[in-house]
Chain A
Amino acid sequence: MGANAQTSVPVFASGEVLTAVNQNLSAGTGVPVFATTVTRDAAFGGAGEKVLAEGQLAYIEATNVVQFYDGATWATLGPATAGALVFISATTIGTTVSSVSVSSCFSSTYENYLVTLAGADSSASGTRLRIALGASATGTGYYSVANTLASGGADQINRTNNGTYIEGGYWSTSDSTSLTMTVYSPNVARHTTVTGQSVSTDGNGTETVFATFGGGVEDVTQYTGFTLSPATGTLTGGTIRVYGFANS
């Protein structure tokens, strides 16, 4: 039982003298602290103790949680349990930028990451979407393939073979580019790989291009970020969000 833990939540009678012990017990902790839920339950309703009522708070040392009493039962207020997918960052793409880098989003906390992009446009019609690890738009040792299916029928396969980036489909101009990709082991000392999908429209907005892509970089650099860029032209708008997959 810790220094703050108590075994009683007292009430005071009219005219009763409050001692330092009395004050330190309640005022010192704010929320009453109990070793366990058993000592919590025993602390209310006894002689000289407060009658348990709706709105009562309590901290339980055994489980490190804050609870509240809703009039019938105790419920845990927090801390909230982290989900399997944890938000890390959001980056809004500026106006007419040649590339956009998201830094400090990969760490040892998570092994794999989800990246989403929505609402981005390119100034150049039908220009390819490029992905690179790190803060530069290009690097070395990239291998990738993007299978692009076009509503207009001009399907295409784009590849990099020991190239400078990962092929990720195409950027749109008149409408929006959307992308989702999983990044595997970017901050682990082994090859980083990427799989994903993107969808865009062409320059006049009449053709949809859907791409599935995969690739990686053959080095063991522990990357902390990535960069998206167009093959030609510039980017404007859209938001890149990064999430970490919980390791367990």
Chain B
Amino acid sequence: MTYKVQIDDEVRDATRAEAAAIEAAHVAAEAQARAEADKAAAAASGRAKLAALGLTTDEINALLGA
């Protein structure tokens, strides 16, 4: 894939090294986003399980410090 970078008013194709860095950054960002989504899903799942045990929302928040 061709990437473009801009320096001031000049837009040019990324060099091979720049393209590799952009792709690496994108891969890392996507992995980070997945990890954050998994963490949020785990938190929601945990809350649901606590609620299923009969805890109120206030009790869950107190437990979790939310």
- Interface positions of A (Cβ within 8 A of B): 89, 91-104, 127-128, 135-138, 156, 164, 229, 231-232, 234
Contact = CB atoms under 8 A, between A and B. Distances in A.
Nearest to B7: A101
A98 B5 contact: yes
B29 A127 contact: yes
A174 B21 CA distance: 27
A92 B4 contact: no
Interface in B5-47: 5-9, 11, 14, 21-22, 25-26, 29-30, 32-33, 36
Contact of A234 (B4, B9, B21, B25): B4
B: contact size bracket: 10 to 19
B39 to A, nearest CB: 11
A96 B29 contact: no
Interface SS of chain A: helix, strand, loop or mixed?
A: loop
A137 B25 contact: yes
A152 to B, nearest CB: 13
B5 A99 contact: yes
Given A137-B21, A137-B22, A94 B6 contact: yes
Contacts of B8: 89, 91, 101-104
A179 B7 CA distance: 19
A97 B26 contact: no
Nearest to A89: B8
Contacts of A104: 8
